[in-house]
Structure 1
Amino acid sequence: MYLPVIAAASGLAGCNLVYWDEDFDSYHDLSKTNPYPYHKVDIYDPNTDLYRNEIQVLNSGVVALQLRIDMIRRAQQSIDVEYFIFSPDLSGKIIVRELVAAAKRGVNVRILIDKSATVFEFDEFYAQALQQYNIEVRYYNAAPIYYISTINFRNHRKLLVVDDREAITGGRNIENDYFDLSTHYNFLDRDLYVEGSIVAAMADSFDAYYEHSISERFQSPQKPTFRVELQKYERRLAQVADFLAPSEAEQAARIKIEAIARPLLLQKKRYLCPETTFTTDAPGGSFWTRFKDPYSDNYRFLRKTIFDKVMSVDQELILASPYLLNNRKSEHLMQTMLEKQVKLILYTNSLSSTDASYVAAQLYHHVYDWQKLGITTYVHAGEWIAETDVVYPQTKQARWGMHAKTQIYKRSLGNEVMVGTYNIDNRSNHYNTEMGLFCKGNDELVQAVESSILSRAQQGYKIVAENEATDHEGNKVNVYGAGDPDLTKMKYMWLPSWMFNFLL
């Protein structure tokens, strides 16, 4: 049978090394038996209106950007900003200039950015420039690249909190491709906006990350004395000054963004959540904590909460994740769901739509076995889906991937939805710190998110047999996605991606 076979293969590929100290077969109701420091459940009391939380679903990138602008403009006391990627592009310029305006009117602004060498751009030159506005930037895990293990422990959280009263979390970083602004490659993503009592827990978690010793205050760049280096230094200063200054292109984009987003925001429904759960992993994980501390108990909380939620499903489980890489834990869950005759629907990236061909190499090695087991799997084709208008016409011709991290749990004891930063892979399970927001008991909200997932999925390709897929009209299509996917590159990536899949 497929599951035991792949479990053995995954062990050889490193998954046993990842979970060597865990008896994950006993993961049941851990969030109740072993309360987490970063876990909160709010149950709404209609008699007193206590623990009230209202949620909005943000599927459109343009709308998600405009709502962030609106939140920053509403801020009166504090703004906390935390992202894995924060790019000094158009979207970053718009957000930063709004943060500067807020700081000028007396709002306390703090920014925490992960310092991963592979994606880090918002460096000390930007932090130094923002210091003049009393905006403090800190960097999470600035370990040098020769710390081969510790550099893998990244802060993958995405959070904007205003006045400890309203927040956004979900899949989006601060970069053009998350807000439908790139003319080359964009993501179909999803965030949740929440206003209510649960935001205090989200704000507390930001404080824990921001104040942790792994989050470092920036060091101002030193002015060089040698001419060539001095010229580079001065160019960087000029680049940052230009980034902070208004521009005609920025203003034109702002006008178009608001023209598209404002009518949609005015119509956007708010959902009252009867039971709201927030969970996040703990900060500070590293190579050393992995061995000297009970790492699973002290740091890894979100995957345990997700395990609890999934194990209670008795009807249908819908998983949307840009990366879908099985490990022993997810295989155990999958097998349990199949034994319980739970309907399983998966939605992920094809080779054409992914931003990581090494992940696709693993996906296509397993996805046909999932189909044989009766699991419905859709892959995004790599093309634009006409959900909302775009700022630039060229964006429609760009390559598109899916990036939403969303789960729907359908059960007789109440349906629930999760939107967060968690990918179904070993990095999110073990290395990256993640966060998730759950809402249980509002079927209208669950239906709205489910409809969005399935609409996107069904406009992609459905895996129907070995090396076979169909589109929404039943026509046979390239199982690897639209356009001209690079099969040669993927095939070369298979062996190294298999050997190191515990790092993927």
Structure 2
Amino acid sequence: MTILHLPLLFSAVLLLTGCATTLPVDHDRKPSVALAAPESTELGRFFKSEIATHPGKSGVVLVPTGEWGFRSRAGLSNLAEKSIDVQYYIWETDTSGLVLAERLLRAADRGVRVRMLVDHVTTKETDFKFARMDYHPNIEIRLFNPYANRSFRTLEFLFGLERLNHRMHNKAYIVDNAIAVVGGRNIGDNYFGVDAAANFRDLDLTVVGPVVQDVSRSFDQYWNSDFAVPVSAIIEERLSPEEFDAKKKALYRWVDKLEDYPYPIDTTSDAILAKLEEFRDSFIWANAKALYDEPDKPETDEETVADYLIQLGKEKDHEVMIESAYVIPGPEGVERTRRNNERGIRQRLLTNSLATNNVAAAHAGYAKYRRALIKEGLELYELRPDANSVKKNWSLLAGRSTAVLHTKAFVVDGELVAVGSFNLDPRSIALNTEIVILVESDELAVQLLAYMDEGVQPENSYRVILETDVETGIERLVWITEIDGKEVRYYSDPEASTWHRFSSWFMGLLPIEEHL
């Protein structure tokens, strides 16, 4: 580089700095709100009598498998009459992501208003596909806290860390403001058990009744916030009506010709309603509410989801069961564990092992607290990469893939259930926005505990304990599991590749815990 190039480089850096620290403002964005009369739709009428029979209560059912995670979203999209509101951290453009996008387009063709809010952690190709969908007159897509320059994201992130480190982690699929799916799943093959490489053990709740309006109010707040920027303000691709129609029809033809996708896609309304009828009695009616962060969470003094859950933890009497993909408790979390143990409260946690964790930095942040948590009384389990309870729910397409934990669920004292997007890490506590459905129901707690208990069985996870080596007298971690009915012990992170070990070790050297 010659000295003549330095002014150009300096100008580029200044431009990136300016773009990174401020949100795009040169765009036309009209406010809108959720459907006012959900009872005017088929879905609203479907649960009308149950809602009337259980005044003030909401209907809740667990969605524990990837198959039903997909089928619930696709089926409800097929039933939509007035509106679909979707809010996600990740929407992949793999097979499942494209199929569900196609369902949204089909709904929009029927006159359904579709509002799609996605965090801007997407790739260029995903950006373009979102921009193309936005050409539909009944679809509007907004990106949360977007990057201004898609070609220099790393530089922009470095210069604009304070703004761009704030991400929207919420996950919600709301149809006709009458029914919603909320939980841990994003949109993509590995969330629905059809990926060839890795698939998630994950969990959603399908909810009806008053709590749906809570979720819709949350969506409206995000949708109308300054952080929600129309995709058309970010992506410059322009299509003629003819070009858009051609691309839409090409997607329709592609989905119509899918032969190896394992779940039904184009199910008729009558068939979906018949399936809902089967599940009608499965809904548990209880007091429920949606906890959600403000869109400007890092800048506000409002109570956060983390504040509420921490306070909830202080009020427990005898046990707390947790399943969380990412756990970085920090000194404060270790201290809370100690105090709970002194009070005689049983504490159990299932999280990812090094072999199953898909974020090396997150495992590095967790590993440094593992010994302390066990010493303070935590019953600790880590998922096995070959967990049978996860694999049995996958399609044949995913038979050889690795299991990864992605659930975020809590059961307190066998009567209070929390399921949503919240992990036990600094990102969920202070940086990312989150949503959690809180349900007061011992019946739902029993069902969720059965799901959790299955996860900690020896064929699915490792029990991690501290043990003193009789020869050296040194205290060490031990991972205990069963293979072919026989107990097996490991004295270092089981089934972890050399690359996994190196990545976790290296990340552990970096001073980045507050960003994990």
Quick check: TM above 0.5?
A: yes
| Residue identity in the other structure for 2:501 | L
Q: Which moved more, 1:456-465 or 1:170-179?
A: 456-465
Report what 1:303 is aligned to.
306
Change (3 A) 1:302 1:478: same
Q: 2:232 aligns with which of 219, 230, 251?
A: 219
Deviations 1:40-82 (A, max 9, x none): xxxxx99963223111101101111001111111211111011
2:353 maps to 1:350: yes
C-alpha offsets along residues 68-106 of structure 1, whole Å, 9 cap, x if unaligned?
111111211111011000111111111111111111111
Aligned partners of 1:72, 1:241: CA distance in 2, in Å? Answer: 18
User: In structure 2, what is the equivalent of residue 168 of structure 1?
Assistant: 181
* Pair 1:422-2:422 in alignment: yes
Structure 1: distance between partners of 2:489 and 2:338: 29
Deviations 1:288-347 (A, max 9, x none): x3xxxxx3x23x521121122211111101111111101354334323312211001011
* Equivalent runs, 1:258-337 vs 2, <5 Å: 266=278, 270-285=282-297, 289=299, 295=300, 297-298=301-302, 300-337=303-340
Task: Give a deviation string over 1:251-297, Cα, whole Å, max 9, x none.
Answer: 541556899x99998469624233212110001346xx3xxxxx3x2
Aligned residue among 201, 215, 230 for 1:188? 201
1:377 matched to 2:385: no
User: What is the TM-score normalised by the length of structure 2?
Assistant: 0.77
Partner letter of residue 515 of structure 2?
L
Structure 1 unmatched ranges of 5 or more: 1-44, 225-229, 290-294
- Compared CA separation, residues 476 and 199, structure 1 to 2 (3 A): same
Residue in structure 2 matching 1:246, options 246, 251, 254 = 254
Rounded to whole Å, the distance in 2 between the matches of 1:201 and 1:51 is 13
CA distance in 2, matches of 1:160, 1:46: 20
Task: Report the more deviating stretch, 324-333 or 415-424.
Answer: 324-333
Equivalent of 1:409 in 403, 409, 412: 412
Going from structure 1 to structure 2, the CA distance change for 1:370 and 1:327 (only over 3 Å counts) comes to: closer
Shift in Å at residue 388 of structure 1? 7.0
Is the counterpart of residue 490 in structure 1 residue 504 in structure 2? yes
How big is each residue's C-alpha offset from its partner over 1:130-179, in whole Å with a ceiling of 9 and x where there is no partner? 42242110000014533121111000000011111110111100111111
- Counterpart for residue 100 of structure 1: 105
Where in structure 2 are the equivalents of 1:108-119 lying within 5 Å?
108-116=113-121
Question: Is the Cα–Cα contact under 8 Å of residues 391 and 399 in structure 2 kept in the other structure?
Answer: no
Which digits, 9 at most, give the CA deviation of each residue in 1:231-266, with x for residues without a partner? xxxx9999887545434663541556899x999984
For 1:469, the equivalent position in structure 2 comes to 479
Kept in 2, the 8 Å contact 1:181–1:390? The answer is no
1:110 and 1:401, CA in 2 relative to 1: closer, same or farther beyond 3 A?
same
* 2:71 is aligned with 1:66: yes
- For 2:443, the equivalent position in structure 1 comes to 444
Cα distance change of structure 1 residues 184 and 196 upon mapping to structure 2, 3 Å threshold: same
Maintained 8 Å contact 2:111/2:138: no
Contact 2:479–2:494 (8 Å) recurs in 1: no
Question: Residues 388-407 of structure 1, C-alpha deviation per residue, up to 9 Å, x if partnerless?
Answer: 75665351211111000001
Between stretches 93-102 and 422-431, larger displacement belongs to 93-102
Q: Does the 8 A contact of 1:257 with 1:391 survive in 2?
A: no
Gapped runs of 5+ residues in structure 2?
1-49, 148-155, 467-475
Structure 1: distance between partners of 2:367 and 2:390: 28
Structure of larger gyration radius: 2
Amino acid at match of 1:283: P
Residue 204 of structure 1 is matched in structure 2 by: 217
CA RMSD of aligned residues (A): 3.1
2:130 maps to 1:126: yes
The letter of the residue matching 2:312 is K
CA distance in 2 between counterparts of 1:330 and 1:305 reads 15
SS at match of 1:253: coil
CA separation in 1, counterparts of 2:189 and 2:397?
Answer: 14
Aligned 8 A contact 1:383 1:482 in 2: no
Q: 1: distance between equivalents of 2:431 and 2:325? A: 17
Shift of 1:183: 0.3
Instruction: Give the superposition deviation at 1:198.
Output: 1.1
Which residue in the other structure is 2:171 paired with?
A: 158
Give the Å deviation of 1:475.
Answer: 2.1
What is the CA-CA distance between 1:410 and the residue it aligns to? 0.5
Q: CA contact under 8 A between 1:166 and 1:193: conserved in structure 2?
A: yes
Given that residues 349 and 379 in structure 2 are in contact (C-alpha distance below 8 angstroms), is that contact kept between their aligned partners in structure 1? yes
Cα deviation code 1:190-214 (max 9, x no counterpart): 0000011110111011011011111
Q: How many residues align?
A: 434
Does the C-alpha gap of structure 1 residues 438 and 242 become closer, same or farther in structure 2, counting only changes over 3 Å?
Answer: same
Whether 2:58 is the aligned partner of 1:53: answer yes
CA distance in 2, matches of 1:166, 1:63: 15
**Contact 1:209 1:215 (8 Å CA) reproduced:** yes
**Preserved contact between residue 384 and residue 396 of structure 1 (Cα < 8 Å):** no
**Among residues 77, 83, 93, which one is paired with 2:82 in the alignment?**
77
Q: CA deviation at 1:482?
A: 3.0
Report the 3-state secondary structure (helix = DSSP H, G, I; strand = E; otherwise coil) of the residue aligned with 1:106.
Answer: coil
Say if 2:133 and 2:139, in contact at 8 Å, map to a contact too. Answer: no
Q: 1:271 to 1:340 in 2, by over 3 A?
A: farther
Q: Which residue of 1 aligns with 2:21?
A: none
* CA spacing shift, 1:47–1:385, aligned 2, 3 Å: same
Question: Quick one: which amino acid aligns to residue 172 of structure 2?
Answer: L
The one-letter code matched in structure 2 to 1:416 is: L
Q: 2:461 aligns to what?
A: 460
Sort the Cα spacing of 1:48 and 1:54 in 2 relative to 1 into closer, same or farther, 3 A. Answer: closer
Greater relative contact order (Cα 8 A, min sep 6): structure 1 or 2? 1
* Structure 1 residues 89 and 376: CA distance shift in structure 2, 3 A: same
